Amino acid sequence: MKVGMFNSLRGGAGRFAASVAKYNGDIEFIQFDCPPTLENVDKLRGCEGFLFSPFKNDGDAFWKKVSEAGVKYVVTCSTGYDHFNLEAMKKYGLKAANVPSYSPNAISEHTIMLLLALLRKLRKQFANTARYDMSLDGLMGSEVRNQVIGIVGTGKIGCTTVKILTGFGPKKIYAYSHHENAKVKGLVEYISLDELYKKCDVIIFHCAYNAQNYHMVNADSIAKMKTSVLLINVARGPLFDTQAVLDGLNSGKLGGVAMDVIEGEEILRGRPQGQNDLPILDELMKHDNFTFTMHTAFYTDEAEQNMSDATLENFNEYRTMGCCKNELVK
């Protein structure tokens, strides 16, 4: 099976070398040195598979052209698949799969790092140290054990974060999710989202992104939260209305925000070092109680290998059976 991929994928075909080797030449990656735009889709001709990483596309027309190029199977190596248009893919006979889990610990540990960074004012500490300002002014932190923490989404990642948090002994952990998870029974109390907003000092977002929760953090929801609440988003950028978050920081309503993802982040990829094409990020970064990491929560050696192996297994199942256990379009 030949699998086409574009240069929007971090690390290119090389990152899959060890995983590809397990299939004795039955799967071959063909890399194109250009982005996966509508005008470049024809390059996929001759490829049965398409490895598509998060990237903006032209909707229905894009997937129609992918199908016309002869592609049958589209796989993402991520858990999130909001860059897929499942309705259009089904319409044009494309099957699709994701990697539903690769290392919950990677993202959960990153989440805890961001939590501690906010509580201990790490950005300000680093900035002060860089200019040899050793005063303690404005650096008094808070302890996790004194926080009421809310978790939005208790899937594999949310559950892992809950279990790590219990070691810090916070006052209380509340959770909101469409489905209660038995694995954290006794560790969290499930409440409504509005209640969680009202009660929590820290709110961590681990939920999947879909049309229903677009901008779930907005001016109205922020108004329901405690003054000085800390927000952490390691899920998907469009969960947050970025302007509302900036307004909340400007007004002091938000005590701090940590984001590993931001709406529109795809425009930042592949740009020259020092170039920022997302002006609102510049405004956010003016606040020393705002911490940003560039979608790296997942990025550990363990997660990378698991992700690569699962991606190749998805393609192999399609190659040998025409279906896949992680299929999104059936």
> Using one digit for the tens of pLDDT, what is the confidence trace for 277-315?
899 999 999 999 999 999 999 999 999 999 999 999 999
Q: What mean pLDDT comes out for the span 113-130?
A: 97
The whole-chain average pLDDT of the chain stands at 94
**Residue 283: predicted pLDDT:** 97
Confidence of residue 232 (pLDDT cuts 50, 70, 90): very high
Confidence of residue 26 (pLDDT cuts 50, 70, 90): very high
**Residue 261: predicted pLDDT:** 96
**Cβ-based neighbours of 202, under 8 Å, separated by 6 or more:** 115, 118, 147, 148, 149, 150, 229, 230, 231, 232
179 is catalytic: no
- From 236, 263, 304, 313, active-site residue: 236
Helix pair 301-321, 104-119: axis angle to 10 deg: 150
Q: Is the dihedral of CA 227, 228, 233, 236 positive or negative?
A: positive
CA distance 304 to 318: 22
Q: Is the pLDDT assigned to residue 170 strictly greater than 80? A: yes
Q: Is the pLDDT assigned to residue 32 strictly greater than 90? A: yes
Number of H helices, E strands in the chain: 11, 12
For the record, the structure tokens of 229 come out as: 């609440």
- From 110, 206, 295, 319, active-site residue: 295
Confidence of residue 148 (pLDDT cuts 50, 70, 90): very high
**Cβ-based neighbours of 13, under 8 Å, separated by 6 or more:** 5, 20, 29, 31
pTM of the full structure:
0.86
**Cβ-based neighbours of 52, under 8 Å, separated by 6 or more:** 5, 36, 74, 75, 76, 83, 84
| Tokens 């510049």, located at residue | 282
CA distance 309 to 295: 21
What is the CATH topology of the domain spanning 2-102+300-321?
Rossmann fold (3.40.50)
CA distance 120 to 327: 42
CA distance 170 to 184: 15
Confidence of residue 152 (pLDDT cuts 50, 70, 90): very high
CA distance 41 to 63: 9
123 is catalytic: no
Burial 254-281 (b: 16+ CB within 10 A, else e): bbbbbbbbbbebbeeeeeeeeeeebeeb
Q: What mean pLDDT comes out for the span 91-120?
A: 96
For the record, the structure tokens of 164 come out as: 């790590």
Q: Is the pLDDT assigned to residue 55 strictly greater than 80? A: no
The beta-strand segments (E) located in the chain are 2-6, 28-32, 49-51, 73-75, 95-97, 148-152, 172-176, 189-190, 202-205, 229-233, 254-259, 290-292
CA distance 36 to 61: 13
Residue-range domain boundaries for the chain: 2-102+300-321, 104-292
**Residue 67: predicted pLDDT:** 97
Confidence of residue 23 (pLDDT cuts 50, 70, 90): very high
269 is catalytic: no
**Residue 14: predicted pLDDT:** 85
Domains 2-102+300-321 and 104-292 are alike in CATH topology: yes
**Residue 80: predicted pLDDT:** 81
**Residue 13: predicted pLDDT:** 82
Class of domain 104-292: alpha beta
CA distance 67 to 89: 8
**Residue 251: predicted pLDDT:** 98
Query: Which residue type, as a one-letter code, is found at position 56?
Result: K
- From 265, 304, 313, 317, active-site residue: 265
**Residue 270: predicted pLDDT:** 65
Q: For 26, left (φ over 0), alpha (ψ -120 to 50), or beta?
A: alpha
